Amino acid sequence: MKKYAMETAVGIFVAIGLLCVGYLTVKLGNIGILEGDQYRVLAKFSSVSGLRAGSTVQMYGIEVGRVDKLGMDAEAQQAQVEMLIRKDIRIYEDALAAIKTEGLIGDKYVSIDPGGIGEPLKPGGSIIQTQAAVDVGDLISKYAFGDVKKEEPEKK
């Protein structure tokens, strides 16, 4: 009898451990099993350099969603970003989406200014006003090689 009790206890312990590993995998991997509590929003940028699927979407510095897909709109000749936003977050027609960098050389993320004029965006709606990321490498190379123009003060 003791042998079966020990095997049962080990089996329960292993099952609980596997459930915990599965839960951590879903949470840390940012995998949405049920995406019913989110809605899709689109934005088009001239460049999405450094942005990737899974990057965060922030509003006022708080994470409100994730980048789901990156693609190209051949007709408009722009990069298209599909984002999944929490259902409790409202984004309006006059919203602004910008690609920003965490720190000096950190990961890219999408920052949204939700606006407030007009109707809230419907699921599948598009943010019209966008701002591409500033390329720090280009700025450094312009400064290093003297392409940055200095404005001279006006002489009176």
Cβ-proximal residues to 92 (8 Å cutoff; 6+ apart), any chain: 114, 115, 116, 117, 118, 119, 120, 121
Q: Does 112 share its domain with 78?
A: yes
Number of separate domains in the chain: 2
Which H or E run contains 81? strand 78-86
Q: Does 69 share its domain with 23?
A: no
Report if residue 150 sits inside a domain: no
Q: Does 24 share its domain with 47?
A: no
Read off the pLDDT of residues 5-60 as tens digits, 9 standing for 90 and up.
Answer: 888 888 899 999 999 998 888 777 655 555 568 899 999 998 888 889 989 999 99
Considering only residues 66 and 116, tell me which one the structure prediction assigns the higher pLDDT: 66
Query: Which has the closest alpha carbon to 132: 106, 111, 153?
Result: 111
Q: Does 9 share its domain with 72?
A: no
pLDDT band at 63 (very low <50, low <70, confident <90, very high): very high
Backbone angles phi, psi at 21, to 5 degrees: -65, -40
Q: Which range, of 42-46, 127-131, 152-156, averages the lowest pLDDT? A: 152-156
Report if residue 92 sits inside a domain: yes
Q: Does 24 share its domain with 48?
A: no
The boundaries of the domain holding residue 112 are: 38-143
Q: Does 69 share its domain with 88?
A: yes
Q: Does 7 share its domain with 52?
A: no
Whether 114 contacts 92, CB under 8 Å: yes
Measured CA to CA, the distance from residue 1 to residue 14 in angstroms comes to: 20
Query: Which has the closest alpha carbon to 70: 61, 60, 57?
Result: 57
Read off the pLDDT of residues 96-124 as tens digits, 9 standing for 90 and up.
Answer: 999 998 877 778 899 999 888 888 888 88
Return the pLDDT at 112: 92
Q: Which range, of 27-41, 66-80, 142-156, averages the lowest pLDDT? A: 142-156
Q: Does 23 share its domain with 61?
A: no
Q: Does 52 share its domain with 7?
A: no
Pairing of strands 38-45, 125-127: parallel
